[in-house]
Amino acid sequence: MINSKIFVFYINMHKTNVLTFGSENFNTSLKELKDHLKFELTTKNINFENNIFEKYDVLFIHEDFIKNKNSEKKILEETNKIKILVSNSNSNKNINIFSDKLLLPTTIKDINQTVENSVAKKNFFKNSSIKIKDYILNKNEKKLIKKSDFILLTEKEIQLLELFLKNDKSITKRKVLEAVWKYASDADTHTVETHIYRLRKKIKVKFTDENFILNDKNGYFL
């Protein structure tokens, strides 16, 4: 079992770079178990600087590091890196700025799993959320979001938006039909027109936006 205080070590887990702040005991324990780790481990004491996070994907931070350190906490809040809190208690204090939490004492297996799960979670949401103009397309929740407002989308509407986003030029109705409906026997170009009309109407009603999906003589585009 591993306990923790203030120290920093670097982890390279597969292609994931992790910067971890922890304790001397935690550091020593990991070094002793280095041959059993699934990732490359480096330990190093460093100063907390603004550019420290640039080459890392994950920050593993013991709760002692942010106690009474408002300036450091602010830097943590502003970075978009994955942040995992290492804690000796179940307290929810400061938990809102972290992606996940590791409760001490812990095991090497739990450390590996926590990092891997956090990376997988971020990749899932990253792949599920796509920026389109001033909107966010959340594929997981099937929503088109703008600020605090959103509309619910059908699977076909999501496929339409993804298709338009992937193409720099306008797309003909026939190509839309081929890409989204795969030439289904019950689909024709009228099906494309109907779906786009309904989607345009939903966007106009909710966001008063009449220029989201555009068209010219060659077809549709964003």
**Domains observed in the chain:** 7-128 (3.40.50.2300), 133-221 (1.10.10.10)
Q: Considering the chain, what percentage of its residues have pLDDT values greater than 90? A: 32
Classified as helix, coil or strand, 27 is: helix
Q: Give the dihedral sign, CA 202/204/207/212.
A: positive
Q: What are the angstrom distances between the C-alpha of 166 and each of 96, 148, 158, 171, 222?
A: 35, 26, 12, 10, 10
- DSSP line for 18-87: EEEEE-HHHHHHHHHTGGG-SSEEEE------TTTTTT-SEEEEEGGGGTT-HHHHHHHHH--SEEEEEE
In 3-state terms the chain splits into helix, strand, coil percentages (rounded to 5) of 40, 25, 35
In sequence order, the β-bridge partners of residue 21 are: 8, 61
**pTM given for the model:** 0.55
Q: What is the pLDDT of residues 187-217, one digit of tens each?
A: 788 999 999 999 999 999 999 999 999 999 9
User: What's the one-letter identity of residue 75?
Assistant: I
Highest average pLDDT, of 3-7, 105-109, 173-177, comes from 173-177
Specify the higher pLDDT residue, 4 or 101: 101
DSSP summary character for residue 18: E
The number of residues making up the chain comes to 222
pLDDT at 5: 46
Q: What is the pLDDT of residues 60-78, one digit of tens each?
A: 888 877 776 666 677 777 7
Lowest-pLDDT range of 112-121, 145-154, 164-173, 201-210: 112-121
pLDDT mean across residues, the chain: 81
Lowest-pLDDT range of 92-96, 150-154, 173-177: 92-96
Lowest-pLDDT range of 42-51, 125-134, 137-146, 171-180: 42-51
Residue 46 has pLDDT above 70, yes or no: no
Q: Contact at 8 Å (CB) between 143 and 151?
A: yes
- Tokens representing 179 are 């890409």
Alpha-carbon Rg for the chain in angstroms: 24
